[in-house]
Structure 1
């Protein structure tokens, strides 16, 4: 019997098909996470029954800026991030004009007149890191959450988890989240 010294061939044509099928399988079955952003709704032009052409007094604006070195400045003073929430709460709940019956502020003449007139101005540069920007927004959101929770427990006599849709509308009315975001040029 004669042996040939030829090597047997492996048919690799079907391997490409198998690799392609595996690729398609993994693409179809892979879970692609949804991007989650900040849930904010842009305000309407001007709510009915409210005069939006009036002047905004400087004392009703809390200016928070994040510079290119990611330093946070509240009213032009460098501030650590862990103080932003308390500064925001104090500013919003100030009751500067004495007309707020549910506020517990100290009626400072350099903070807001009323929670419905308090505006938070958040400014950043092009070099501000996204994580720092989001961290500052989180602190502002925590301030509003705590003020609304306090109102819920003290005035509505309900825990925040037990609020109805009407109660939530009331909370948003007494402590409206007014945030102005701009980029410093």
Structure 2
């Protein structure tokens, strides 16, 4: 009786299919990307340099304790109310601002829409927001606080840009990016809004047990 041989399986086509499937899954699979806040940390001040003195009224203190409770100017506050409080502080315009480059003295804020409260910030370029958290503060709470503060600046910049250039600051930045960052007219407008409402948020070292 003749011996019956088992037919061989052509593995070449299967390898091609596996390779195509691998490419398909690599192209279509969504990878988890770490998210966070785009922020440039301040450089450490040299020991021989004295930090500038800041008047109490130009400092907006935000503290987050280990229980994720928010204290603004030593008073308890809900995170949802932080943006409006920060906006009111930044846009107060109650005094004279720091002199700009080439100027000998500062001027009042003629574009601020705040209460002009003499006990609050003098000018947006003097308004400093200080954020301090505890080492046990949850990351999500810290991010939520930072988002509220950034939204306050974004709202003020958008309003001023709309008034001066008939487009929001977001649209202005997009137009500048679309130009390849080469349009000098757009560059000056973007810088003008940034200078009018400079983002001044400082992060102090977290408190708590190391």
TM-score, normalised to structure 1, is: 0.75
Aligned to 1:116: 125
Give the 4+ runs in structure 1 shifted more than 6 A: none
The residue number in structure 1 matching 2:63 is 65
CA–CA distance in 2 between the matches of 1:101 and 1:173? 14
What's 2:149 paired with?
Answer: 140
Task: Give 5+ residue unaligned stretches, structure 2.
Answer: 1-17, 97-107, 173-185
TM-score (norm 2): 0.67
Unaligned runs of 5+ residues in structure 1 are 1-20, 47-51
Which residue matches 1:37?
A: 36
Q: Distance in 2 between matches of 1:160 and 1:60?
A: 25
Aligned-residue CA RMSD (Å): 2.5
When residues 78 and 31 of structure 1 are mapped into structure 2, their CA distance, relative to the original with a 3 A threshold, is: same
**Structure 1 position 128 matched with structure 2 position 137:** yes
Q: Against the structure 1 CA distance between its residues 156 and 33, is the aligned structure 2 distance closer, same or farther, given a 3 Å change threshold?
A: same
Q: Give the aligned length.
A: 157
Q: Structure 1 residues 158 and 45, CA, compared in 2 at 3 Å: closer, same or farther?
A: farther
Partner of 1:176: 198
SS of equivalent to 2:165: coil
